[in-house]
Structure 1
Amino acid sequence: MKKNPIPVLFVLVVSAFSSCVVLSPKKHNALLAQRDSLSLGWEAARARIVSLEEEIASLKSDTSSLHARIAGLEGNVTGLNENLNSLRSNSSSEISRLSADLQKREARLKEVEEILRKRDEATNALRDKLQKALLGFQQSGLSVDIRDGKVYVSLTDKLLFSSGSIVIDDRGKLALQELAKVLKTQPEINISVEGHTDNQRVVNLGQIKDNWDLSVLRATSVVRFLTEGEKIENNRITATGKGEYQPIEQGSTPDARSRNRRIEIVLSPKLDELYNLIK
């Protein structure tokens, strides 16, 4: 431990005076300056010591806080390791379950795809049969095409009806008879008969008030012919009227209106097997 310089200086001064040594003013001033310098150094050292003690206290506090944080983190790590071990122990059984579920879903998807493939094959084959059977009527306003997995047989009104009439004429009956021959060989096919009109208002047609009436009555005329005349099963067939609201040709030219006045016979395969799969 360092000795206090102030007492030493005091002893020196006293000794100097006690020995009756007369100091010159220059030496006296030098001694005073040395005393003041030593005093200032002492005060600076004391201030530095206080500052270091405060820093030590702060470091001890920080160290304690860090120890607490480390302890908390170690606890978290322990908890995470326990969770990880638990997940690892359960992962094998969970992966096995998910794999089994995935295999079932893939098998079900293959079944659905196979049914849809068969449906598409049947739809294409039906279209081909109808096109062949109705070939002689295609120049008279009949067409056969596939839309959304269904076969559409479209017959313009001039092939089936006189203007404003709901009575099927002879040419139309011949076309429906050929259609019925094919339908009788396809009992798995559902039949929907849709009546369509143009956008011209109905005038002077007696009981027929508007295009709704005209489209519905023409559809039911076709249904009656197919069920009563051609013996198509009633539970396979429905009649609907669409009026003027589902045109296939925009515009009001005579040709556009003629194309919109039509009967569409929509043929769709029964999908009971598919519906059972996706329940």
Structure 2
Amino acid sequence: MITLKRILPITILLGGLVMTSCVSNKKYTALDSQYRTLGEAYQKSQMELTESRAKVKSLEDQLEYERKNNASLKEAYAKLQGTLDKSISQNSQGNVNIAKLVDEINASNKYIQHLVNTKNKSDSLNVVLTNNLTRSLSREELKDVNVQVLKGVVYISLADNMLYNSGSYEVSEKAGETLSKIAKIIQDYKDYEVLIEGNTDSDPISKPNIRNNWDLSALRASSVVQALQNTYGVDPKRLTAGGRGEYNPLADNSTLSGKARNRRTQIIITPKLDQFMELIDKAPDAEQSSIN
């Protein structure tokens, strides 16, 4: 039989346990709530940490990219700087070359101008010489005489049918009027040298007393020289006879018209050096010629 003395301690103990149990549940609930809050905070922190790590990784990747890009830019800059330096060097050399080229162009222009002036002077000289040598002839007389001046030398060209019979080297009677005109030109300048030059076509000559075209051209020139001397009183010391045969053609010998041009006698009148210089002094300047 349980006595009161025994029940009382048990009751007190049970009461204490109940009271202890009530206090623990409250703490547990509070702790659990706190735990949940901390857990949520932890999860949030973990998510933020993950996001931060992702951002850090992205920033690190971007930094690496920028570093590489910076290296590329530095390399490109170095190349551009090298190109610029080279360009500046070449430009400096180019300036030197351009300056040299300008000097050469200026020198060439001066030389060209000199040639133009010389050509104008030469043309003026030719005009003076032609006028001087043909002033004894009338307009009608000049129609039968072809006078050309080249480099201060007068060329008077006469077709063979004006001077000789076909295949002959003797001067014909009808050539007298033509030769008299030539003699007027020659006598007008008594100190000029006169060369009579015979030319033929390529057809071979068939005469018993003439071996070839060399002979024919030389004989024709000699006949003109003797006519000028004996008939028109030209000093023979001024005269020279020469033959060039078929070897100085003006045209193709394959045509009749070409052969006709090649069969000719040229009378070449050349002033001596001192006379030539006098003519140069008389030659007008290009500006004066253009004004006249």
- What TM-score do the two structures reach when normalised by structure 2? 0.53
**Structure-1 separation of matches of 2:88 and 2:201:** 78
**Structure-1 separation of matches of 2:51 and 2:181:** 125
User: Residue 235 of structure 2 is aligned with which of 210, 231, 234?
Assistant: 231
User: Residue 52 of structure 1 is aligned with which of 45, 53, 62?
Assistant: 62
**Structure-1 separation of matches of 2:91 and 2:202:** 75
Question: Counterpart in 1 of 2:128?
Answer: 121
Question: Counterpart in 1 of 2:187?
Answer: 184
Alignment check: 8 A CA contact 2:199 2:243 kept: no
Change over 3 Å in CA distance of 1:237–1:212 after alignment to 2: closer
Deviation at 1:183, TM superposition (A): 1.0
Aligned residue type for 2:194: I
Alignment check: 8 A CA contact 2:201 2:253 kept: no
Local SS of the residue matching 1:153: strand
1:144 aligns with 2:156: no
User: Residue 157 of structure 1 is aligned with which of 156, 160, 164?
Assistant: 160
1:19 aligns with 2:31: yes
Bigger CA radius of gyration = 2
Aligned residue type for 2:31: S
Aligned residue type for 1:118: L
Let me know the Cα RMSD of the aligned residues. 5.5
Question: Counterpart in 2 of 1:215?
Answer: 217
Alignment check: 8 A CA contact 1:188 1:269 kept: yes
Alignment check: 8 A CA contact 1:227 1:233 kept: no
**Structure-2 separation of matches of 1:77 and 1:122:** 60
Change over 3 Å in CA distance of 1:171–1:78 after alignment to 2: closer
**Structure-2 separation of matches of 1:131 and 1:249:** 34
**Structure-1 separation of matches of 2:261 and 2:132:** 26
Local SS of the residue matching 1:206: coil
Sequence identity (%): 20
> 1:30-56: per-residue Cα shift (whole Å, max 9, x none)?
889757744542332121221233245
Alignment check: 8 A CA contact 1:144 1:151 kept: no
Local SS of the residue matching 2:244: strand
Structure 2 spans left out of the alignment, 5+ residues: 1-27, 281-292
> 1:61-101: per-residue Cα shift (whole Å, max 9, x none)?
46766886798799889989999xx99xxx9xx99xx79x9
Tell me the matched-pair count: 237
